[in-house]
Structure 1
Amino acid sequence: MREHFVNEFMAVLSNKLTEDALSIVYQSLTLFVSNYEISERNTEVVPYTGYLPECYETYFVTRKIEGMSMKSLELYNLVLKDFFFKLNKEICKISTNDIRVYLYKNQQERNLSNSTLDTKRTIIHAFFEWAANEGYIGSNPCRNIKPIKYERPKRKPLTGIELEKVRNACDNLKDKALLELFYSTGCRVTEMERLDISDIDFQTKEVLLFGKGDKHRISYLNAKAEIAIRNYLDSRNDNEEALFVSDRKPYGRLKKPAIEKRIRVLGEKSGIGRRLYPHLIRHTTATDGLDRGMPVEEVQQILGHVNIATTMIYAEVSRANVKNNHRKCIV
């Protein structure tokens, strides 16, 4: 089989190299393959016999108990099923090189960005790290694969003028209340969707949010948000417990897609010249807080970030503010 392999390989190169070069390659290749067992790959369809590890379901139960959001669980399931389906190997036999090849082929075949590819690497790493810690495998084969570098796009928050234009574009009480509450609390759209009237405490100016990771956290009302919400609630004539409800009967809770659409349309009406979405308002809240002197730890608490590094990604401190503080402090 070795001789057959060498001859076939040389036939491919016959029209690409000179006779002298072919002779050198032939001699070198013959010596090289003498140390290897070579066999022709079997291209017959091999039926899958359960490509998911036995601990697969246990992993997801564990992550759910730990508070991972349903959205994240769905993403992890999608990535890991594709990974194990493509490799079709027992978990204990998967090597670091198997993972590298999978990631490389994934990027080449699907033309993935480095950011998306690193997300896949992170998910695979998390699964194997858990499996190793739980004793299902000896060690994590993904541990030696370094994070894939990529440049994070800089988030540009709303300027003061843009925010005022959006405020002026509000032509109804509901949109005004949505905008001001998003900006005051820095909440996520899923947290806004889940808010009930009872979650607003007008006495303490506190808002009880329930969102990512099925966790509760407290944020706060500023004066504009309080007035906007009071005006909106006074205009309602329903008995729904939800803070934001649809315009028509039966006045059900306003869902995430509907909230996003209202904010998007609001941005179009304002004429700010770019897409407006809830997360951009959240980013603006974080940046304004830092620019106006709020400690980063407090901004982190308002946004509900576990890692302070995430807060710094969301909130970009203006260079002008840094320059002014440098002049005052570094003398």
Structure 2
Amino acid sequence: MGVRKKPHHGILSSHTNLWKKKIEIQEIHGSPAEGEPPKKKLGACIERGELQMDENKLKDELIAKLSSNVDTTVLQMVDTALASVLSDYEVAKRNTQLSTGVLRFPELEIYIAKMRFDNKAKSTIDQYSKFLGDMLCYLGKPVDKIQDFDIMNFLNFYAETNGISDSTKNHKRLIASSFFTFLHKRGYIIKNPMATVDTIKYTAQVREALTQKEVERMRVACGENLRDNVVLELFLASGCRVSEVAGMRVENIDMKQKTVIVLGKGKKERPVFFSDRLLVYLEKYLDGRREGPVVISVRAPYQGIKKNAMENIVREISKKAGIEKRVFPHLLRHTFATHALNKGMPLESLSDLMGHACIETTRIYAKNHMSKIRYEYDMYAS
């Protein structure tokens, strides 16, 4: 006996392409184990020779369809509910042409949906989507037909076309590796082609932090401009990322404790501290404001400024200060870390302040610190 399952007409009704995959429910013949409910089968009318699809793939396609219109909390509820419901079913996919007409790269859309589900930053998702889309267009073959030499050829082509460094090229390799590893783990491909694509060797360049003298020159260059002073000190006093400063909210500032809650990578909140100098500038700059973005535009409607505008402010301050090297927000973050280490801050504490998921990331900043120690050793101990 078979029963055809109707598509839900609520929130899922707009996703007709997904639900056009006809589903039938039929109990499997045979005696189940004692105390165990009988298993059911989705796709009893599937024609012979059609591909089997496991539970993960069905969930992935549903999440991918919903991800652009439904927030993360609902997606997580759907994912949990599906895991519970599908435990009583065996899942199979009809061999239709529906997804081919709708999605050019269905596996990429599923992967991007997974990134949204994991709360990856929009900038990261955009970067991955653009690069992987370019790669799949260039290769022009199904993901299960792509081999290691295909990817190596594309990476070489991409590097030559865009004039990128070996460091950036290796970063692109990591993006491709993340994508194909996901496909392999979820059963979309049998073999992971990235398993035989070696790490691209490169010489890591350590950024040179601003000297204390250069920092003071930038402070002088801000003059009486309150916003410039606030922006500069936010980076120098807290070591925040540019996205964290741009997203900083007035209601998250505790003036008494001189702390502010920022939203870091992976949408993780953390407290950061700031100096007495910044406290003075903030009190004047906020001028009674109790909510909204901390750093705002100078003209009505006084909205929060974006990452690019923040970078422009820092660049203009450095020009006024007459600093020849290129100065940008991440260099100020690097300067904060280097100066903190020079003053004796433990690496573990610095890692927490900067919001690093791994302390090895913080060790990069310690390289400049070690060069200073070597200089002092040569001066006083050798």
In the superposition, the TM-score normalised over structure 2's length comes to: 0.67
* Structure 1 unaligned residues grouped into runs of 5+: 1-48
Q: 1:179 to 1:114 in 2, by over 3 A?
A: same
1:282 and 2:303 are equivalent in the alignment = no
Give the match for residue 247 of structure 1.
Answer: 298
- In the alignment, the residues of structure 2 paired with residue 206 and residue 110 of structure 1 have an alpha-carbon distance, to the nearest angstrom, of 42
Please tell me the residue identity of whatever aligns with 1:233: L
Q: What SS is found at the alignment partner of 1:250?
A: coil
State how 1:164-179 maps to structure 2 within 5 Å: 164-171=216-223, 172-179=225-232
Out of 173, 176, 184, the residue aligned to residue 124 of structure 1 is 176
Q: 1:78 to 1:298 in 2, by over 3 A?
A: same
**Structure with greater contact order relative to length (CA < 8 Å, sep ≥ 6):** 1
Preserved CA contact (<8 Å) 2:108 2:132: no
Give the match for residue 152 of structure 1.
Answer: 204
Deviation of 1:288 after TM superposition, in Å, equals 0.8
State how 1:1-331 maps to structure 2 within 5 Å: 52-171=104-223, 172-234=225-287, 241-315=292-366, 316-322=368-374, 324=376
Q: What SS is found at the alignment partner of 2:324?
A: coil
Q: Is the radius of gyration larger for structure 1 or structure 2?
A: 1
Please tell me the residue identity of whatever aligns with 1:230: E
- In the alignment, the residues of structure 2 paired with residue 313 and residue 287 of structure 1 have an alpha-carbon distance, to the nearest angstrom, of 10
- In the alignment, the residues of structure 2 paired with residue 72 and residue 198 of structure 1 have an alpha-carbon distance, to the nearest angstrom, of 27
Give aligned pairs, total: 280
Q: What SS is found at the alignment partner of 2:262?
A: strand
- Between the aligned residues of both structures, percent identity stands at 35
Deviation of 1:159 after TM superposition, in Å, equals 0.3
Preserved CA contact (<8 Å) 2:251 2:291: no
- In the alignment, the residues of structure 2 paired with residue 249 and residue 105 of structure 1 have an alpha-carbon distance, to the nearest angstrom, of 47
Preserved CA contact (<8 Å) 2:246 2:307: yes
Give the match for residue 42 of structure 1.
Answer: none
* Structure 2 unaligned residues grouped into runs of 5+: 1-99
- In the alignment, the residues of structure 1 paired with residue 221 and residue 209 of structure 2 have an alpha-carbon distance, to the nearest angstrom, of 18
Q: What SS is found at the alignment partner of 2:357?
A: coil
Please tell me the residue identity of whatever aligns with 2:358: N
- In the alignment, the residues of structure 1 paired with residue 271 and residue 291 of structure 2 have an alpha-carbon distance, to the nearest angstrom, of 23
Deviation of 1:313 after TM superposition, in Å, equals 2.2
Preserved CA contact (<8 Å) 2:166 2:202: yes
- In the alignment, the residues of structure 2 paired with residue 180 and residue 110 of structure 1 have an alpha-carbon distance, to the nearest angstrom, of 35
Preserved CA contact (<8 Å) 1:157 1:283: yes
Preserved CA contact (<8 Å) 2:250 2:290: no
**Deviation sequence 1:221-244 (CA, Å, 0-9, x none):** 12212122112223x7x6762212
- In the alignment, the residues of structure 1 paired with residue 121 and residue 377 of structure 2 have an alpha-carbon distance, to the nearest angstrom, of 39
Preserved CA contact (<8 Å) 1:210 1:216: yes
**Deviation sequence 1:163-220 (CA, Å, 0-9, x none):** 1111111121221122112111111111111111111111222110113322211111
**Deviation sequence 1:49-75 (CA, Å, 0-9, x none):** 779543221111111121211111111
Preserved CA contact (<8 Å) 1:185 1:221: yes
Supply the RMSD in Å over aligned alpha carbons.
Answer: 2.5
Q: 1:189 to 1:112 in 2, by over 3 A?
A: closer
Preserved CA contact (<8 Å) 2:251 2:290: no
In the superposition, the TM-score normalised over structure 1's length comes to: 0.77
